[in-house]
Structure 1
Amino acid sequence: MGRKSSQRKNAVMLDSEDADSVSSSSTYRSEMIVSGAEEVQVDKEALLDQCVNALYEKRGSTREDALASIIEAFNSDIQHDFVEKKFATMLQQCLNSIKRGSSKEIALASHVLGLLALTAGPGDKAHEMLEESVSPITEALKSRSEASKISALLECLAIITFVGGEEPEETEKSMQLMWQVIHPKIGPNVATAKPSPPMITMMVSAWSFLLTTVGGLALNPKSWQGSISYFSTLLDKDDRAVRIAAGEALALVFEVGSLEKFSVEDKGSSDSSVDEANKSKDILHIQGLRAKVLNQVRSLSVEAGGKGSAKKDLNTQRNTFREILEFLEEGYTPESSMKIGGDSLTTSTWRQLIQLNFLRHFLGGGFVKHMQENEFLHDVFGFTPKKKLLSGVEHRISGPEKRLYKSPNSVANKTRTQFRNKQRMLSQDKNVGYYTAGDQV
């Protein structure tokens, strides 16, 4: 009883022996001492400390509530100082939750890991997280019992690879792990559960998100053969979210270029005459694939919709596929603009749009806060809030921030990579004859 009393005096109680110790994520916010008319504000860092300590508790529901509260705290504020102090503990406890927790706990822990990576930014911490997380995430993905759990794991793997991946090989390894969720390597007598539409949608979205960071020439030519054909089959599925994700993936593949790596088998012949013949066949094959995709995209851009079809979802599909059609036919990439606290964030490529939409979905209610204050995201999108420019207050660059600007993910490096990839796409598409409306991109 003394222990419990002491915890009450400290305004937060996380005791796994008490069934009422944690009933919801609001518990941590609401347990404050009120003396007369005066309210004592509990220090946010102390609350986060209590949440992290609760991850050691035996009761799963206690850990789940603690994870939910950590997510809320990381969405409402950029917890750089806390991450500096508690990074290793949070990483290990979240990985423990992924190894032993319920589906709900695994999903929550996966989200915390993603937030931890985005808060830490690129560098040693994020790279360590990627190295430590791949194995437990891979094991957890093998049990495809619940779509929500698998989707959270895929989203987590995408985020931590986006931030922590330092070499193209690391990124492509994560992309292959995602691909195996839908195309598992199984024996001839082993049955596997059919992936659900939400699972397929998240896999395609997460895969595309990582493809935005890898140039076409860096890809293994044997890894993605047939992927254009696969995405094309998804355009015929009944689920609208699956169709939209597949359409955006195809648009990105065409923007990245090196289409032969996504469509045809690498013959590897040493005979030059055979090579030339194979090259001609490959060109015809790619042109045929592109023509098929173009017809599918054109149909989806004007789909009338069926009975009970939600108008908003139908309009989203039409608008998306009109943009894809315009890109494939004319070479024009989509431009978007959104307000972040009065400042405009713009995108002008499929890469940027896919990155923005994925991060926006992952951060949810914390998206605006992170876009306003997270230096890593500023760097990714080349976005600087005006309030920072006009404040007149000197901004001291910390160690982690210095790493951001030197990182391969820096806006300067991303811009150069995008330019080179765009030029490569132009060169390749001219040779194959993809665009019929001049050389516009």
Structure 2
Amino acid sequence: MPRTKKKNGRGGQHGNVQPFSDEDVSIETLSHCSSFSDTASVADEGGEASEDTAQEDFQYKLKGFIDSTVDKSAKTRQGALDGLKTAMATRILYEFISERRMTITDSIERCLKKGKGEEQRAAASLACLLCIQLGSGIESEEVLKTLKPIFKYILADGSASIQARQAVIYPHNYCCFLMDGTCPSISPQTSQLYTNALLSWALLLTICTASQLKDILRKYLPKLPKLLESEDVNMRIAAGETIALLFELARDMDTDFEFDDWDELCNKLNALATDCNKHRAKTDKRKQRSVFRDVLKAVEEGDFQSETIRFGTERMTIDSWVKKRTYDAFREFVGSGMNYHLQANEFIRDVFELGPPVLVDSATMKAMKISRFERHLHNSAAFKARTKARSKFRDKRVDVGEF
């Protein structure tokens, strides 16, 4: 990749650094790390020299983003945070990040303290991605030690904006997960905050001990059904999925687990699975009914609707509520880079028990490309056939009309 022109010197500030473009992401994603690239293919595309140049340019851009997190302009800081988020979501950068862990952590801390709204949201999300890159160990623990007091302060600060409190509640509990492995009247402005709190709490449930779970089931399971009456569809869904998760965990400990208000709970879940309230949006009802059909099966029958995630040459089956909650939590932060992290991130692979990263040779990659190309040809042929058939049908309708 040719070196781009740079207005600033290498020792200067990068105040006008912009986040990655789609082109940047696609180019860098193709060369994630040495374990996923074949030396022969590198030579075909310009040799090791061009690879080194691309890597140097990429690291230079990352350094620019880090420098720009201390810029006076909030817009520039926001762009730098977003750039770092995109990079961490689409590549494994352990060595680069490990060397600059304290600097990046200080930048996140500064943006959380001095920033507002979206800047705090971006900084909090970056904290999660930083821990995902560093994995479960002393380095992530140090990040959490530094940022946890700030997360807790913002959460407890009643004068802080709702946006700020929403931004930190999920990352706070999410980082803890990485280390340890009456319905309230909720306004629209605070419902997302409460929903995030519930989902992040559910994530921590997946790593609780048996004794902790017994205490939680006794104290909180009877209270959760009340949240099913919330006016916010996302809160209802979060409550339903958390209930299903708790039932699964309870039955894993005791196959004869019983819940005192089981009949009443099933009636509520069934009503939500068949909801026809006219005052609710159609999209909300459709989404809700789909989720609560699965939740009802979980509570009544201990059933889970499994799904298969494909990434590279591998597959992973989401076959439990525990696995679903964990997968959804990671996907919340890495987004479209989730499949890549499932392939290459040793920590995430360890969480899902996928084993070491699988090396893919050039022959396999070529076979995959041929398969995709053949599928494209098949789809194109099918599209042409449909178009031709529809044209004939339209011609017949014209003939009948004229007759």
Whether the TM-score (by the shorter chain) exceeds 0.5 is yes
Tell whether 2:109 aligns with 1:95: yes
Counterpart pick for 1:254 among 247, 250, 253: 247
| In 2, Cα distance between equivalents of 1:248 and 1:28 | 34
More deviation, 53-62/68-77: 53-62
Instruction: Find the counterpart in structure 2 of residue 379 from structure 1.
Output: 350
Taking the aligned partners of 1:329 and 1:368, their CA distance within structure 2 comes to: 33
- What is the rounded CA distance, in whole Å, between the counterparts of 2:282 and 2:340 in structure 1? 31
Alignment partners' CA distance in 1, 2:244 and 2:22? 45
**How far off its partner does 1:227 sit?**
2.1
Amino acid at match of 2:165: I
| Structure-2 residue corresponding to 1:165 | 180
Residues 373/148 of structure 1: CA separation in 2 closer, same or farther (3 Å cut): farther
1:306 to 274, 278, 287: 278
Distance in 1, matches of 2:112 and 2:92, equals 24
Specify which of 128, 133, 158 is matched with residue 114 of structure 1.
Answer: 128
CA RMSD of aligned residues (A): 3.6
Query: Which amino acid in 1 is paired with 2:221?
Result: I
- Superposed, which structure 2 residues align to 1:270-285 within 5 Å? none
Is there any run of 5+ residues in structure 1 with no aligned partner, and where? 16-20, 31-39, 167-181, 184-191, 261-282, 394-441
Report the CA distance between 1:228 and its aligned residue. 2.1
The answer as to 2:226 corresponding to 1:233 is: yes
Q: In structure 2, list runs of 5 or more residues that go unmatched.
A: 25-52, 365-403
Question: Cα distance, 1:29 vs. partner?
Answer: 8.8
Q: What letter matches 1:382 in structure 2?
A: E
Q: Is the 8 A contact 2:266 2:296 kept in 1?
A: yes
When residues 306 and 339 of structure 1 are mapped into structure 2, their CA distance, relative to the original with a 3 A threshold, is farther
For the structure 1 residues 100 and 193, does the alpha-carbon distance in structure 2 shift closer, same or farther, using more than 3 Å as the test?
A: farther
| Cα shift at 1:106 | 1.1
Matches within 5 A, 1:5-404: 8-10=8-10, 14-15=14-15, 21-22=16-17, 24-26=18-20, 43-143=57-157, 145-165=160-180, 196-219=190-213, 221=215, 226-257=219-250, 287-307=259-279, 309-311=281-283, 313-383=284-354, 388=359
With over 3 angstroms needed to count, the CA separation of the structure-2 counterparts of 1:242 and 1:132, relative to structure 1, is: same
Q: Relative to 1, partners in 2 of residues 1:366 and 1:143: Cα closer, same or farther, differing over 3 Å?
A: farther
Larger-gyration structure (1/2) = 2
Q: C-alpha distance in 2, partners of 1:293/1:127?
A: 39
Q: Which has the higher helix share?
A: 2
In the superposition, relative to structure 1, how do residues 220 and 333 fare at CA in structure 2: closer, same or farther (>3 Å)? Answer: closer
Following TM superposition, by how much is the alpha carbon of 1:56 offset from its aligned partner in structure 2, in angstroms? 2.5
| AA partner of residue 165 (structure 1) | D
TM-score (normalised: structure 1): 0.65
Q: Using the TM superposition, give the Cα deviation of residue 316 of structure 1 relative to its aligned residue in structure 2, in angstroms.
A: 3.1
Partners of 1:354 and 1:110 in 2: how far apart? 20
Q: CA deviation at 1:194?
A: 8.6
Q: Distance in 1 between matches of 2:101 and 2:327?
A: 26
Once the two structures are superposed, residues 348-376 of structure 1 have per-residue CA deviations (whole angstroms, 9 ceiling, x without a partner) of: 21100111122112221222221221111
Cα gap change, 1:199/1:6 in structure 2, threshold over 3 Å: closer, same or farther? closer
User: Is residue 117–residue 126 contact of structure 1 (8 Å, CA) maintained in 2?
Assistant: yes
1:224, CA displacement in angstroms?
7.2
- CA shift in 2, pair 1:333/1:88, >3 Å: same
Deviation at 1:118? 0.3
SS in 2 for 1:214: coil
Is the Cα–Cα contact under 8 Å of residues 205 and 213 in structure 2 kept in the other structure?
A: no
* Secondary structure at 2:310 match in 1: strand
Distance 1:29 1:92, change over 3 A: farther
User: Residue by residue, what CA displacement relative to the aligned partner does 1:18-75 show, whole Å, maximum 9, x if unpaired?
Assistant: xxx35x5259999xxxxxxxxx856111111121122233333222221111111112
**Corresponding letter in the other structure for 1:218:** Q
The 2-side partners of 1:305 and 1:345 are apart by: 37
Q: Is the 8 A contact 2:19 2:79 kept in 1?
A: yes
Q: For the structure 1 residues 385 and 375, does the alpha-carbon distance in structure 2 shift closer, same or farther, using more than 3 Å as the test?
A: closer
Q: Deviations 1:186-219 (Å, cap 9, x if unpaired)?
A: xxxxxx9896221121111111011111133135
Cα offset for 1:300?
A: 1.2
Shift of 1:247: 0.5
Equivalent residue letter for 1:82: F
Q: State how far apart, in whole Å, the 1-side matches of 2:22 and 2:13 are.
A: 8
Q: Deviations over 1:400-438 (max 9, x none)?
A: xxxxxxxxxxxxxxxxxxxxxxxxxxxxxxxxxxxxxxx
On the 8 A contact 2:180/2:207 being kept in 1, the answer is no
Letter in 1 for 2:288: Q
Distance in 1, Cα, partners of 2:12 & 2:271:
58
Contact 2:8 2:14 in 1 (8 A): no
CA distance in 2, matches of 1:300, 1:321: 6
Task: For 1:92, give the aligned amino acid.
Answer: D
Q: In the aligned structure 2, how far is the partner of 1:28 from the partner of 1:340?
A: 20
Contact 1:336/1:353, CA 8 A, preserved across alignment: no
- Structure 2: which amino acid aligns with 1:237? S
TM-score (norm 2): 0.71
Q: CA separation in 2, counterparts of 1:342 and 1:114? A: 27
Instruction: Identify if the C-alpha distance between structure 1 residues 198 and 326 changes in structure 2 by more than 3 Å, giving closer, same or farther.
Output: same
Q: What amino acid sits opposite 1:246 in the alignment?
A: A
